[in-house]
Amino acid sequence: MFTPRPIGFVSSPYKISREIPKGFGVKHEAEGSLEILPEFELGLTDIEGFSHLIVLWEFDRSGNFELIGTPPTDDRPHGVFATRSPRRPNPIGLTVVEFQRRDGPTLYVRGVDMLDRTPILDIKPYLSNVPAEKLRRGWMTEAESRKSQMS
């Protein structure tokens, strides 16, 4: 088992969880920055060529975990591993952001859905070879259909 340590912190417009947009059709377009600690800045070498980044981060304010929960996007319970719930056995979050620019140890990004001062565990370039037509959205497809029928 390893003990994670932050490589930096998120600068975000969101100070409390309820400010973060949630639900069907939500587009995360908030701008923010990834403030990388000086000892890890060298690791940003050549990152400028990528359009999107995967950010692994810690749900540092989430509390205890639940294996079953009802997400805000559905009225039915689902297993934690089939949701994006912050209440996880290992409080690790993953967000894909659009990379805008770099200024030294600071990466300016669009698409943040994390709270301000969230610890960043890792950054990876986004590289996907899964065609959009092969992606499946699981229970969310059914829940979206039920919601649209009720409207």
Distance CA 67, CA 87 (A): 8
- Predicted confidence at residue 84, as pLDDT, reads 85
pTM: predicted TM-score of the whole model, two decimal places: 0.86
- Predicted confidence at residue 18, as pLDDT, reads 87
Question: What are the E-state strand segments in the chain?
Answer: 8-11, 31-36, 52-58, 68-69, 78-79, 92-103, 106-110, 119-125
- Domain boundary assignment for the chain: 8-150
- What are the angstrom distances between the C-alpha of 58 and each of 18, 43, 113? 17, 20, 12
Q: CATH 3.40.50.620: does it fit domain 8-150?
A: no
Per-residue pLDDT of the chain (151 residues; tens, 9 = 90+): 889 999 999 999 999 988 988 776 778 899 999 999 999 999 999 999 999 999 999 999 988 999 999 988 888 999 999 988 899 999 999 999 999 999 999 999 999 999 999 999 999 999 888 788 887 878 888 888 887 777 6
Phi then psi for residue 97, to 5 deg, are -120, 155
- Predicted confidence at residue 129, as pLDDT, reads 80
- Predicted confidence at residue 135, as pLDDT, reads 77
